[in-house]
Amino acid sequence: MSSEEQNPDPLFTSILVDGKEYQAPLGGRLIDFLHSIGKNIPHFCYHKGLPVAASCRQCQIESKGKGPRPGLAVSCRETIIEGMEILTDSEIVQKARAGVMEFLLLNHPLDCPICDKAGECMLQDTAYSTGQSRGRTQEPRKHFDKRKSLGDKILLDNERCILCTRCVRFFEAVTKDPQLTVLDRGDRSYLSTFMGDPLHGNYQGNIVDICPVGALTLKKFRFKSRVWFLHATETICGLCSKGCNISVETRDNKILRIRPRYNAEINDYWMCDEGRLMFDRYNLEVGETRLPSPFFIDENGERIPISIEEAFKKLSPLFLRQKEILMVLSPFATIEEGWAFKELAETLEKLGLEPTFGYYQPDPNAKGDEFLHTDEPAPNCKGLREEVGLKAIPPEDLENVNSKKVALFGFGFGELLDQSTLESIAAEGPMLYMGVRSDLFPAAKVQLASLSPMEKAGHWINCDGIKQFVRPALKAPVLAKDDFQLLTELLEAFISWEENQIDIPDEEIMGTEEVRT
């Protein structure tokens, strides 16, 4: 105690909260500090990632000492100074908050049974804990436009809006492209875009997350499921090399929505609409587009489901009798898979083959911006290049290639390869396709069912060199195997064939005319 008195930390000061002394960061925001010590301060307009508006007046506290004028003060606006004395739950505070809630609920429709936000709605929670259960007004509630479309992604319900202006401030302060505003005065105020134009830009979905009520809803998630049925998994977005932290919310093994997770180093509280909305590529139906188990295509072009052991047996002549093979790993592969892939290719080299191997490096697209999205449409190019040390295979190398000598490993070729390359490879069929889609390379001689990035675990390195862990959010089909496991088993199989000098009969050589000499 004495040492503290001698050397007081210049960054901290002691303040009194509800009669108890705390060490608070000097100049910090009061509401953040009150939340951090476990005080329940309800709030609507305040958001950590946005500038302060102090318009909802729900976070009021009572001030007694220095700082704000004695009486009620709005805690989101106050910075911590020396000698503060604060009451968070006094009678006057409770009365003020209840009054604010009554005004907010005055014209709010009783929509909770049909509102998508119900269950994670801040207004609902606060009304339940502090509000009164019956309204005192006799007048009919005000009615606004209930289904106003703001572009092709977002729907606005002006009746539910409590005018906290979080969405307005998001476009003003975060994307620096103001698009929304509050029009009219007093109780006729409503939210609108400028001149009623639809919203534009790649970051619209964030206003749905930060909306404290159900006024802004995502069209893609509208009425899909109640939020309490969703099962959230914390993982990483793979649609560009930024590696935004996301929470994937699933129900019945289907992704229904994706929301950003806070990470100060990468994406803060935000994510782009591409990552938020383009999850259909992971929701593959077994029997339609999902490869459920390993397949083998015989001479007549018939698909025969086989076991993994059989698949390896079919693969041995394809690999061992071919001298030059182009082995391409998808940039969606994790670091671990990169190591296994490299080991596999180097083993083939030792066996006397001359494989060209590397990861597929897609051309930069023009989708990059200064905020989050990058030009690279794949998550782990940097990791495979710098951590694993694989060679980059540009798209030109795949354009005019004998597709019978190509082996493709991993998820994402359907999205990354351009249409003409895809068709030219798919026409003859690569000799091996390890992936998740059955409609992509139906002519591939051997097809191994592996997992999509939403189904497996591993590490990705983003464009800034940050290594992040990917968690499985979905369950894979029973017979599909993890890419890393398949690669290591394939490696073991190759080694054992070469050691045992297994003689492969000619009739098992499928569609490979060029025999290794």
Partner 1 sequence: MKVKRMEKKLSFMEKLSIPEILKGLSITFRNMFKPKVTRLYPEERYKAPIALKGQPLLVENEDGTPRCVACSMCEVVCPALAITIKAEETERYIEREPEEFSIDMLRCILCGLCEEVCPKEAIIMSDRYELANFTRESLVFHKDRLMTPIKELEGRIRFTKEKFDKWHR
By the criterion CB under 8 A, which residues form the site for partner 1? 112-114, 118, 146-147, 222-224, 226, 228-229
- Two tokens, residue 40: 């329940």
CB of 10 to partner 1, least distance (A): 52
| Gap between the Cα atoms of 460 and 350, Å rounded | 29
Rg (CA), the chain: 29
Strands 406-409 and 324-329: parallel
CB of 167 to partner 1, least distance (A): 21
Residue 17 Cα to chain centre, angstroms:
38
CB of 283 to partner 1, least distance (A): 16
CB of 256 to partner 1, least distance (A): 12
User: Residue 3 or 228: which CB sits closer to partner 1?
Assistant: 228
Spell out the alpha helix ranges (H) of 457-515: 483-500
Do 159 and 143 touch, CB atoms closer than 8 A? yes
Beta strands per DSSP E along 2-117 = 12-17, 20-25, 60-63, 71-74, 85-87
- Report CA torsion sign: 449, 450, 451, 452: negative
Residue-wise burial string across 268-280, b where 16 or more C-beta atoms lie within 10 A, e elsewhere: bbbbbbbbbbebe
Q: Which residues contact 459 (CB under 8 A, 6 or more apart)?
A: 334, 335, 336, 383, 467, 468, 469, 470
User: Residue 64 or 224: which CB sits closer to partner 1?
Assistant: 224
| Gap between the Cα atoms of 385 and 482, Å rounded | 22
User: Residue 222 or 391: which CB sits closer to partner 1?
Assistant: 222
CB of 134 to partner 1, least distance (A): 12
| Gap between the Cα atoms of 160 and 179, Å rounded | 20
CB of 115 to partner 1, least distance (A): 9
CB of 158 to partner 1, least distance (A): 14
User: Residue 48 or 146: which CB sits closer to partner 1?
Assistant: 146
The CA-based dihedral angle spanning residues 175, 180, 185, 186, taken in that order and rounded to the nearest 10 degrees: -80
User: Around 254, how many Cα atoms within 13 Å sit in the side-chain half-sphere?
Assistant: 11
CB of 112 to partner 1, least distance (A): 8
Closest CA to 34 of 63, 56, 6: 63
CB of 240 to partner 1, least distance (A): 32
Closest CA to 48 of 371, 269, 260, 266: 269
Q: DSSP states of 368-407 as a string?
A: --SSS--S-SSS-HHIIIIII-PPEE-HHHHHT--GGGEE
User: Around 191, how many Cα atoms within 13 Å sit in the side-chain half-sphere?
Assistant: 28
CB of 157 to partner 1, least distance (A): 9
User: Residue 118 or 286: which CB sits closer to partner 1?
Assistant: 118
User: Residue 226 or 391: which CB sits closer to partner 1?
Assistant: 226
User: Residue 285 or 503: which CB sits closer to partner 1?
Assistant: 285
Instruction: Look up tokens 């690999």; give the residue.
Output: 319
User: Residue 200 or 222: which CB sits closer to partner 1?
Assistant: 222
CB of 223 to partner 1, least distance (A): 4
Q: Give one word for 69, left, alpha or beta, with left for phi > 0 and alpha for psi -120 to 50.
A: beta
CB of 72 to partner 1, least distance (A): 35
User: Residue 55 or 217: which CB sits closer to partner 1?
Assistant: 217
User: Residue 57 or 220: which CB sits closer to partner 1?
Assistant: 220
User: Residue 91 or 228: which CB sits closer to partner 1?
Assistant: 228
User: Residue 115 or 493: which CB sits closer to partner 1?
Assistant: 115
Residue 420 Cα to chain centre, angstroms:
30
